[in-house]
Structure 1
Amino acid sequence: MPVFTIPSSPKLYPLTDRAVISLTGEERVKYLQGQVTCDVTSLAEGDACAGGHCDSKGKLWASFWLANQGEQLLLVLNSSLVARQLPELKKFAVFAKTDIEDASAQWQVFGLAGEGLSHWLSHEAGDGNLWQGGVIIPVAAEHALLVLPKDATLPDLPTGEEQEWQGLMIQAGLPDMSAEHQGDYIPQMLNLQAIGGISFTKGCYMGQETVARAKYRGANKKAMFILQGTATAQVTVNQDLELQLGENWRRAGTVLSVCQQHDQCVLTSVLNKDLDAGTVLRFKDQPDSRLQLLPLPYQLED
């Protein structure tokens, strides 16, 4: 099975599918605070967190990692989201002293993972997360994103494959939505509350009423789960999943993100929260495929 074990020592994973959106200007924090689910004002220089950007109905344009790089705020996200998400993020910026742009051409993004990564980072970067003109974004235990200027000197570490990083992120229960799912899910359906990506005390932001209702009225019946199993063909994002009910199969959800090695795969999908741990699933167009749920590495609450 493609269960990815964290490397025994830190590795560097060049990531080709990440975009970086930059916010500069004196009102960048105030503006972004009113747009996204996380508490931007709580981030000191070098701090980072997960977050989401919603439409007025609380459906996600993007999930992302946000870092306070000092002179600017950086959002790191799946590059397929930018075409629709960036215009929405900029929509009201004309009324604020902030400039928002796709800065992907100025930055390079890497994954960092391995036993001893925190020790390596403390030795290389010191106590803060600002390093080489860029920023380190912790995303899970011994896992981080590294955002560096294009001309920065890269850390002297062995490199790993992008697919391995994707597998590690899936196993860590970290969401990675792409353009196929824009407008489909509220933040809690991607478990953003479980990884510190939603503040329920920060006040108003785009879609905030829906997010609050899901928490305080129990309105959300779905969550993101990790699955592993066998496939009989190539698996793609947004592929339909079915769950077994006796001798019958019923549509359950779609593939959110996937890592596949030959006929073995691990993936994330948004499914009903009340699924039994022993539920059997398959890809709709691959009748002989079989998938099972893996336990999430964190507790789920709305």
Structure 2
Amino acid sequence: MSRQLPVFPAQPTLYPLPGFAAIQLSGAERVKFLQGQVTCDVAALSTGSQTLGGHCDPKGKLWSDFRLLVQEESLLLLLRRSALARQLPELKKFAVFSKVEIAEAPHTLCGLAGAGSDGWVAGQFGLADTGLIPGGMAVRLEADRWLLVSDALPAMALPEGDEAQWLGFEILAGLPHIEAAHQGEYIPQMINLQALGGISFSKGCYMGQETVARAKYRGANNRALFLLEGTASGAVEAGAPLEIQLGENWRRSGVVLNVWQQGESLLVSAVLPKDTEADATFRLKDDDASALCLRPLPYALID
């Protein structure tokens, strides 16, 4: 059976994203507080800008990755909803010492993708790149692909797509999303946050910084995020173990992070050893009929 990949729409298409959530930080010390908690340089961002980042435990393992949006009166962290239940209390833990309020945001999150989407956003919001919109922000992820976040999104007469398809676009872009199954498992470099601009190595202290710095300056990290495509005979979920072929044998190599699946066609991101060979062959541990190979990342891996 021939493999398929997520198909980019021929026209602007709206993707409701119920599987994502937003955490809102408000209060006079919101920037100062978050600066001491996360991997990205919050203080360097201006209103209407955004960045990727991560929030770690004291050992440098991720509670979640996120996309940070800077609004006029608040900060928004966008993350997978399954990670929210553990992430939100961990973020609130030290907030009692700062003038900051933290809660799940009431914002609507939608993806927009398809040929002509850049022009549609320009006509609707007057933006050519990431910026503020009424009640929130529009984030330009790549050509003709946007993230719309607002508590006052207008009605949009556009065809609707499926969130699973949107996750396929995210995987193709090499963007990681920590689910509940992965919390406390990976340091930020294992999901390529350093290659995506989500780690500042020059900002002040933050939770887990020693581990993150050690991974960079002492070569203490030997894993990275990779993309794989192929086929599977059954449904695949985040956390599914992968095996690599070594001669006539198979050995466990990593686990699935995010999944796009259509029929037998499969596209996944996975955390694997950094020295994995480009021509390596993989299968799902519990699916002997599955077969996957590496797909090039759309960006260069850096330490």
Query: Structures share a fold, TM > 0.5?
Result: yes
Residue 194 of structure 2 aligns to a residue in which SS? helix
CA distance in 1, matches of 2:269, 2:155: 31
Give the equivalent residue in structure 1 for 2:180.
Answer: 179
Secondary structure of the structure 2 residue equivalent to 1:291: strand
The CA distance in 1 between the partners of 2:50 and 2:284, in whole Å, is 36
Moved more, 193-202 or 237-246: 193-202
Contact 1:242 1:283 in 2 (8 A): yes
Secondary structure of 2:206's aligned partner: coil
Unaligned runs of 5+ in 2: none
Conservation of the 8 A alpha-carbon contact between 2:5 and 2:265? no
Q: Distance in 2 between matches of 1:15 and 1:188?
A: 26
CA change 1:219–1:140 in 2 (3 A) is farther
The count of corresponding residues between Structure 1 and Structure 2 is 299
Deviation string for 1:98-132 (max 9, x for gaps)? 000112xx211111222343333233222461113
Percent identity, aligned pairs only, is 54
Correspondences of 1:20-169 after superposition (within 5 Å)? 20-103=22-105, 106-127=106-127, 129-149=131-151, 151-169=152-170
Cα distance in 1 for partners of 2:256, 2:12 equals 29
Tell me if the contact between 1:38 and 1:199 (Cα under 8 Å) persists in the aligned partners. yes
Give the Cα–Cα distance (whole angstroms) in 2 for the partners of residues 35 and 139 of structure 1.
25
**Equivalent residue for 2:211?**
210
Q: Shift of the alpha carbon at 1:201? A: 1.1
Question: Secondary structure at 1:192's aligned position in 2?
Answer: coil
2:88 match: secondary structure: helix
Distance 1:268 1:36 in 2: 23
8 A Cα contact 1:240 1:284, kept in partner: yes
Residues 121-175 of structure 1 show CA distances to partners (whole Å, capped at 9, x for unaligned) of 23322246111312112333432211121x5313333221111111111111000
1:39-63: CA deviation from partner (whole Å, max 9, x where unpaired): 1112211111111000111100000
What TM-score results when the alignment is normalised by the length of structure 1? 0.95
Aligned AA for 1:40?
Answer: V
Question: Which has the larger displacement, 123-132 or 184-193?
Answer: 123-132
Give the deviation of 1:11 after TM superposition.
Answer: 1.7
Instruction: Give the conservation status (yes or no) of the 8 Å contact 1:45–1:68.
Output: yes
Counterpart-to-counterpart distance in 1, 2:296 and 2:51: 23
TM-score, normalization: structure 2?
0.95
Q: Tell me the C-alpha RMSD between the 2 structures.
A: 1.3
- Taking a change above 3 Å as real, the CA distance of residues 199 and 140 of structure 1, as seen in their structure-2 partners, is farther
* Other-structure match for 1:201: 202
- Does the CA-based 8 Å contact 1:2-1:260 persist in structure 2? no
Per-residue Cα deviation, 1:53-80 (whole angstroms, up to 9, x for no partner): 0011110000011101211100110011
